[in-house]
Structure 1
Amino acid sequence: MKIMTIYAHPADTITNCGGTLARHAEAGDEVVALILTHGGRIHPNKYAEEWRKDDPDTEIIRADTAAIIANKKAELERAAEIVGITRVHTLDHDDEIAAVPEDLVDQTAELIARERPDVIICDYPLNSAQTANTHTVATMTALAAIGRAARLLKNLDGSAEVNVRQVFFTSYPVFISDALSLHGPRNDLYIDITPVIAKKVAAMDCFASQGYDGLFARKLIESNNGEHGRVAGVNFAEAFVRCYNETRPLLPVTEAALADDPLTRHVGYSQINLRADFPAG
C-alpha cells in the first residue's frame, strides 16, 4: 500500500500523523509527503526570538527568505527519515494563501497522478467559516486535486485516472476557545502509536527553528496523543475521520476492542512516562 500525506506546512505531517506513518513504514508500506507551502513565515521562533536579545546573532537575524525556507526543509528531511517517509515533495507556495489557487490544484493533482497513492491523509477541514485558514485551504486543495486526478484521461492528459481508495482526515478539532468548531462529527478511527512513540518524539525534536522540540514536543504528545490514547485505551494514539464509507463482508470489531477491559484500561494507558523515557536534550 502507498500512503500520501498532503499538508500545508513542513511540520504538519509529523505532528498530525507521524506515528501512524512510522507504523506503516515499519510494516513495509511506502509513504510519501506533499507540503504545499514553504513554511518560511509559520512559527519563525528561531528568528523572531533572536531579535529580542540584547546581542543577537547576526547570522540568524540576517537570514533571508531562502535561508529560512532551506532550514525548514532540512528539518523536515531529518524528521521524514526518522519516521520512514520515502519522498518529500515541496511546492513552496506562500504561507499566506487564503483561497484555493487553480495552479496549486493542478500541481497537487499532477503529483497524485505521479505517485498513485492508495490512501491520502490530510487535515480535517476545520470549518466552513475559517476559509482563510491555511490548513483549510490545503485540504480543500487536496480534495479538488483528488477529484481532478480521478478524471484524468490518458488520451488527453498523458496519465491514466487515479482512484484514491480512502482519505483520512487527521483528528477532528474541537476548540474550547472557538465558537465555530462544534459541528457534530467525531473521530471514528484511532491508530495506536505507542510502539513508535520514540520515533515521533525524535521527529518532533527536528523542528527546533519553530520551537517544536524539547519540552514542547513532549507536552504536545502527552496532551494530544495521550488524550487520544486515553479514549482509545492505549498509551498514545492518533485520531482520524474517514472521508468515504467502507464496505465489509461482516461487521467490523477490532482485536483491540475485543481484548479491552474497561475496568482496568486506565492502568494500561498510563504506563509510559514520556519525559522520563525520552528526556529533552
Structure 2
Amino acid sequence: MKILTIYAHPADTITNCGGTLARHAAAGDEVVALILTHGGRIHANRYAEEWRKDAPDEAVAGADLDEIVAHKKGELDRAAEIVGIRNLITLDLDDTMAVMREEVVDEVAAVIARERPEIVICDYPQNPVMTANTHTVATMTALAALGRAATHLKNLDGRAETNVRQVFFTSVPVAVTDGLSLYGVRNDLFVDITPVVGTKLAAMDCFESQGYAGLFARKLIESSNGEFGRAAGVNFAEAYSRLYNETHDLLPLTEAALRADPLTRHVEYSRIDVRASFPPP
C-alpha cells in the first residue's frame, strides 16, 4: 500500500501523523510526503531569536531565504529518514500562501497521478473560506487536486484517472469520544502510536530551528497524542477523520476494541512517562 501525505509546511507531516507513518513504514508500506511550501518564514525561531541577542551570530542572523530553506530541508530530510518516508516532494511555494491557485492544483494533481496512492493524509480544513490559514488552503488545494486527478483521460492527458481509496484528515480541533457532542464533527479513527512514540519524538527533535526539539516535542506528545490516547484507550494515539464512508462485508470490530478492559484502561494508558523514557537531547 502507498500513502501520500499532503501538508503545507516541512514539519506538519511529522507532527500530525509521524507515528502512523512510522508504523506503516515498519509494516512495509510505501510513504511519500508532499510539502507545498518551503517553510522559510514559518516558525523561524532560530533566526528571530538570534536577532534578539546583544551580540547575534552573523552566520545565523544574516542568513538569507535560500540558507534558511536549505537548513529546514536538512531537518526534514533527517526526520523523514527516522520515520521511514521513502520519498520527499517539495514544491517550495512561499509559506505565506493564502489562496488556492489553479497552477498549484495542477502540480498537486500531477503528483497524485504519478504516485497513485491508495491513501492520502492531510489537515482537517478548519473552514474552507478561512484563507488566512495556510493549512486550510493546502487541504482545499489537495481536495481539488484529488478531483482533478480523478478526471484524467489517457487520450487527453497522457495518464489515466487516479482514484484514491480514502482520505484521512488530521488535527480535527476536537477530542470527543462520541458522535453526539459536536453534532457529528469528531475524530472517528485512532492509530495507536505507543510502540513508535520514541521514533516520533526523535523525528520532532530534528526541527531544532523551529523550537520543536526537546521539551516542546515532549509537551506536544503528552498533551495532544496523550489526550487522543486517552480517547482511544492507549498511551499515545494519532486521531483522524475519514472523508469517505467505508463498506464492510460484516460489522467491523477492531482487535483493540476486543482487547480493551473498560475497568483498567485508565491505568493502562497512563503507564509511559515520555520525559523519563525519552529525555530531551
TM, length-normalised to structure 1:
0.96
Cα separation, 1, equivalents of 2:64 and 2:154: 42
Q: How many residue pairs align between the two structures?
A: 275
The aligned counterpart of 1:131 is: 131
Equivalent residues in 2 for 1:183-198, closer than 5 Å: 184-198=184-198
CA-CA distance at 1:127 after TM superposition: 1.9
Question: Are the counterparts in 1 of residues 174 and 187 from structure 2 also a CA contact under 8 Å?
Answer: no
Secondary structure at the counterpart of residue 81 of structure 1: helix
CA-CA distance at 1:56 after TM superposition: 0.6
The aligned counterpart of 1:31 is: 31
The aligned counterpart of 1:142 is: 142
CA-CA distance at 1:129 after TM superposition: 4.9
Equivalent residues in 2 for 1:113-262, closer than 5 Å: 113-174=113-174, 184-262=184-262
Q: Structure 1 stretch 166-175 or stretch 89-98: which is displaced more?
A: 166-175
Opposite residue 171 of structure 1, the aligned amino acid is S
CA-CA distance at 1:227 after TM superposition: 0.5
The aligned counterpart of 1:74 is: 74
Secondary structure at the counterpart of residue 35 of structure 1: strand
Identity of aligned residues (%): 73
Secondary structure at the counterpart of residue 239 of structure 1: strand
Opposite residue 193 of structure 2, the aligned amino acid is I
Opposite residue 37 of structure 2, the aligned amino acid is T
CA-CA distance at 1:184 after TM superposition: 4.6
The aligned counterpart of 1:178 is: none
Tell me, yes or no, if structure 1 residue 110 matches structure 2 residue 107. no
Cα separation, 1, equivalents of 2:167 and 2:83: 20
Question: Are the counterparts in 1 of residues 128 and 137 from structure 2 also a CA contact under 8 Å?
Answer: no
Opposite residue 4 of structure 1, the aligned amino acid is L
CA-CA distance at 1:131 after TM superposition: 2.5
Cα separation, 2, equivalents of 1:81 and 1:168: 23
CA-CA distance at 1:19 after TM superposition: 0.1
Opposite residue 118 of structure 1, the aligned amino acid is E
Superposition RMSD in Å: 1.1
Secondary structure at the counterpart of residue 35 of structure 2: strand
Tell me, yes or no, if structure 1 residue 53 matches structure 2 residue 53. yes
Question: Are the counterparts in 1 of residues 174 and 186 from structure 2 also a CA contact under 8 Å?
Answer: no
Change in Cα spacing, 1:10 to 1:48, as seen in structure 2 (3 Å) is same
The aligned counterpart of 1:179 is: none
Opposite residue 213 of structure 2, the aligned amino acid is D
User: Structure 2 regions of 5+ residues with no counterpart?
Assistant: 176-181
Question: Are the counterparts in 1 of residues 226 and 237 from structure 2 also a CA contact under 8 Å?
Answer: yes
Per-residue CA deviation, residues 80-105 of structure 1 (Å, 9 max, x unaligned), is 00000000000011111111011110
Cα separation, 2, equivalents of 1:68 and 1:197: 28
